[in-house]
Amino acid sequence: MTNISCIFCSIIAHNLPARFAGENEECVAIWDLNPQAPIHILVIPKEHIRSLHEVESSHAGLLQSLISLIQKLATEHHLDGDGYRIVSNIGKHGGQTVDHLHIHLLGGRQLNWPPG
User: Which residue out of 48, 59, 100, 102 is catalytically annotated?
Assistant: 102
Closest CA to 81 of 103, 113, 108: 108
One symbol per residue from 53 to 92: x for binding Zn ion (CB under 5 A), - otherwise; what is it? ----------------------------------------
Pick the piece of the chain touching Zn ion (CB under 5 A) from 1-9, 21-29, 32-40, 59-67. 1-9
**In the annotation, is 93 catalytic?**
no
Distant-in-sequence, close-in-space partners of 113: CB < 8 Å, separation ≥ 6: none
Backbone angles phi, psi at 27, to 5 degrees: -140, 155
Helix or strand run (H / E) with residue 23: strand 20-23
Helix or strand run (H / E) with residue 28: strand 27-31
The count of other CB atoms within 10 Å of the CB of residue 54 is 12
Question: Quick check: 7 binds ligand 5GP (CB under 6 A)?
Answer: yes
Question: Quick check: 9 binds Zn ion (CB under 5 A)?
Answer: yes
Closer CB to ligand 5GP, 74 or 101, in the complex:
101
Which position among 33, 53, 71, 109 is part of the footprint of ligand 5GP (CB under 6 A)? 33
